[in-house]
C-alpha cells in the first residue's frame, strides 16, 4: 500500500524545554518536553504515531541532527516524549540534557503507521528502543476501539522498556535474550507468535524486523515496518537515506519511515 500523506502535513521547527528526564533502563532516557513558546500547541501539529523528529544536538555535539521516533504526545500537558538510547555522541548529548535545557526539533516528519491494514487484533512488536513509537500507536489504537497486543524484546530484565506504559493499552509479552524476564530468546521466538493476529507492526533492529516480516508473510498477515536508515536532512531533500522499493530508491525520511513490507525488496 502506497503511503504519501506527508504531502499534506506541515513540518515545524520548534524549541522545546525539557521538563522531565528519567532513566528507564541503564542506557535509555525518557525525555519529556514542552514548547519553549507556550503558544505553540502540539495538538495543532497533527502528529501521528510512527512519525519522527529531527533533534539538533546540544552544543553542536554532532554536525547533523539526529532522527528520533516520537514516543508519545501528551496533548493535555502539551508535552512531547522522546525515548533516547545512548548510541553515540549525538544521542548521548541529547539524553544528557537536563531539565530546563532547550532542544531545537523539527517535527513531525515522515509517514506514521497506517490503519488500513490493522484489523481487530494487531500485534505490535518492538525491539529495544524500537518500542518507542508503539506507545503512541497503542494509545491511538485503543482510542479507536482496538486493543493491540504488544511483544517487546530486550537484552535482559533491566533493559525492558515501557512495559508499564504499554500495558495501559493492551497485553504485553516480553522476550529477553537471557531469559531473566518473559520468554528466553529472540522476540520472534516468543510463544505469542503461535497465535493468529490481524496484522503486525514492528520497529526495532533490522534483523528482528526482517524475521517478523517473514513470519507475517508466511502466515499471510499484513505487516508494516519502521526503518531507520542513516539520514541527512530528514525532509526528503538530500536523498541519502534511500531504501530500494518496488518504486525504485525512495527516501525513508519522506516515504517512510514506516513501510508496508510489500513495498520493500528485502522481503522477497
- As to burial, measured by CB atoms within 10 angstroms (0-12 exposed, 13-18 middle, 19+ buried), residue 161 is buried
Residues 6+ apart with CB under 8 A from 5: 111
Is 185 a binding residue for another protein by CB under 8 A? The answer is no
User: To the nearest whole angstrom, how small is the minimum distance from the Cβ of residue 63 to another protein?
Assistant: 5
Q: Which is nearer to another protein, 181 or 266 (CB)?
A: 266
Q: Which CB, 58 or 185, lies closer to another protein?
A: 58
Question: Interface with another protein by CB under 8 A: which range of 132-140, 195-203, 216-224, 227-235?
Answer: 227-235
Binding map of another protein across residues 58-77, x = CB under 8 A, - = no contact: ----xxxx------------
Residues 6+ positions from 197 with CB-CB distance below 8 Å? 119, 121, 122, 123, 149, 221
238 lies in the site for another protein, by CB under 8 A: yes
Note the helical H segments in the chain.
89-95, 132-143, 163-166, 206-218, 252-255
Q: Which is nearer to another protein, 167 or 249 (CB)?
A: 249
- Member of 58, 185, 205, 232 binding another protein (CB under 8 A): 232
Pairwise CA distance, residues 119 & 115, whole Å: 8
Q: Are strands 28-35 and 52-55 parallel, antiparallel or unpaired?
A: unpaired
Give how many residues touch another protein by CB under 8 A.
28
When the beta carbons of 41 and 77 are compared against another protein, the nearer one is 41
Should residue 86 be labelled a site residue for another protein when binding is judged by CB under 8 A? no
Looking at beta carbons only, is 98 or 248 nearer to another protein?
A: 248
Cα Dmax for the chain: 49
Per-residue binder mask for another protein (CB under 8 A), 239-268, x = binder: xxxxxx---xx-------------------
Q: Could you say which DSSP state residue 36 is in? A: S
Amino acid at each position: 500500500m502506497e503511503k504519501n500523506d506527508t504531502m499534506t502535513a506541515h513540518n515545524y521547527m520548534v524549541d522545546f524545554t525539557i521538563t522531565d528526564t528519567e532513566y528507564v533502563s541503564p542506557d535509555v532516557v525518557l525525555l519529556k518536553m514542552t514548547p519553549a513558546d507556550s503558544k505553540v500547541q502540539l495538538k495543532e501539529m497533527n502528529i501521528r504515531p510512527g512519525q519522527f523528529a529531527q533533534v539538533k544536538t546540544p552544543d553542536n555535539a554532532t554536525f547533523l541532527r539526529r532522527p528520533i521516533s516520537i514516543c508519545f504526545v501528551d496533548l493535555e500537558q502539551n508535552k512531547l516524549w522522546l525515548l533516547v538510547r545512548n548510541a553515540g555522541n549525538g544521542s548521548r548529548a541529547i539524553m544528557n540534557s537536563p531539565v530546563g535545557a532547550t532542544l531545537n526539533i523539527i517535527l513531525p516528519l515522515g509517514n506514521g503507521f497506517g490503519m488500513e491494514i490493522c484489523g481487530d487484533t494487531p500485534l505490535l512488536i518492538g525491539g529495544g528502543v524500537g518500542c518507542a513509537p508503539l506507545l503512541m500507536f497503542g494509545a491511538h489504537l485503543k482510542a479507536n476501539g482496538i486493543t493491540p497486543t504488544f511483544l517487546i524484546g530486550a537484552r535482559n530484565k533491566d533493559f525492558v522498556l515501557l512495559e508499564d506504559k504499554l500495558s495501559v493499552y493492551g497485553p504485553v509479552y516480553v522476550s529477553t535474550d537471557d531469559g531473566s524476564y518473559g520468554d528466553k530468546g529472540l522476540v520472534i521466538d516468543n510463544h505469542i507468535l503461535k497465535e493468529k493476529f490481524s496484522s503486525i507492526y514492528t520497529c526495532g533492529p533490522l534483523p528482528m524486523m526482517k524475521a517478523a516480516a517473514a513470519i507475517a508473510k508466511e502466515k499471510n498477515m499484513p505487516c508494516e515496518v519502521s526503518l531507520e536508515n542513516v539520514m541527512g536532512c530528514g525532509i526528503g531533500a538530500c536523498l541519502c537515506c534511500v531504501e530500494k522499493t518496488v518504486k525504485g530508491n525512495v527516501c525513508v525520511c519522506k516515504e517512510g519511515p514506516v513501510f508496508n513490507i510489500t513495498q520493500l525488496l528485502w522481503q522477497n
